[in-house]
Amino acid sequence: MSRRIKLTLVSAVLMAGLAAAVSAFYLANQVDRQFQSVSERADTLFRLAADAVVRSVEMHPDLSVSEAVASDADLAGRLLALMTNTRVVLDLAVCDTAGRILVTTDTTRPTGTPFPAWPDYGRLASDPILPRVRALFASGQTDRYQLSRALESQEEGPLLSIRLVIYPGLIREELLPDLQKAGLLSLGSVAGSALAALIFFGYAFRPLSRVTQMLDHLTRG
């Protein structure tokens, strides 16, 4: 193989590698953007859920906070209505300070039982890209994460906690169209860069073909 061909191929590989690195950076940004978007939607959901809980407490001023929440038969329905626009949230629950469920949108979880100790979604959202990608494509029934916010009063401190259950597999479904589009663009960019490098350096090195042929002859003696 002549030196000109070797140089052309090396240049094409370098250009393709650069395009692949740029594409990978773009895909990583897309994953990060989606994870942060879920965190922002969760914050909104926490605020709305806190308003619903406070309304339940105000409706029963003669009961304790936990009793007022547990006795509101309509609270679970109102919490479920808040989740309609947040597909990645599987459950929205209100727990007492000991972590026992008072109200939940998941009818399979009985009230009074401890809320499951799912891993923290906030930590996952701040992890490097590879752990988040693994979480996106995990398919086990135990691959759930949670976010928790405490409801407090200045006089009594923590009173309740609101907890969300998040399934990253549903984030993947929201992200998949963007990933497919970005993947096609990435493949096109890599192929286009390699082809452009072959054409450009092929023409650029053509005037030097005689020199490279002479060097090849000298190398072979």
The rounded Cα 19 to chain-centroid distance in angstroms is: 24
Domain presence at residue 104: yes
Residue 164 lies in domain: 47-169
In angstroms and rounded to an integer, the radius of gyration of the C-alpha atoms of the chain is 29
The pLDDT of residue 96 is 92
CA atoms within 13 A of residue 183's CA, in its CB half-sphere? 7
How many CA atoms, within 13 angstroms, populate the side-chain half-sphere of residue 46?
Answer: 18
Each of the 221 residues of the chain gets a pLDDT tens digit; together they read 555 566 666 666 666 677 677 777 877 888 888 888 889 989 999 999 999 999 998 888 889 889 999 999 899 999 999 988 777 888 999 999 999 999 999 988 899 999 998 999 999 998 888 888 888 887 665 689 999 999 888 777 788 999 999 988 888 777 777 667 766 766 776 677 667 666 766 666 566 556 566 666 666 65
Q: Does 38 reside within a domain?
A: no
Query: pTM for this one?
Result: 0.72
pLDDT (0 to 100) of residue 105: 93
CATH number at residue 64: 3.30.450
Looking at the 3D structure of the chain, how many domains does it have?
1
DSSP 86: -
Residue 90 domain-assigned (yes or no): yes
Alpha-carbon distances, residue 172 vs 179, 191, 204 (angstroms): 9, 26, 45
In a domain, 27, yes or no: no
Asked, for residue 119, whether it belongs to a domain, the answer is yes
CA-wise closest residue to 122 among 95, 92, 145: 145
Task: Establish if 155 belongs to a structural domain.
Answer: yes
Question: Strand 145-153's sheet: what is its strand order?
Answer: 101-104, 89-95, 157-166, 145-153
Q: Which residues contact 129 (CB under 8 A, 6 or more apart)?
A: 28, 31, 32
| Any domain includes 146 | yes
Report yes or no on 150 lying in a domain. Answer: yes
pLDDT computed for residue 165 by the predictor: 93
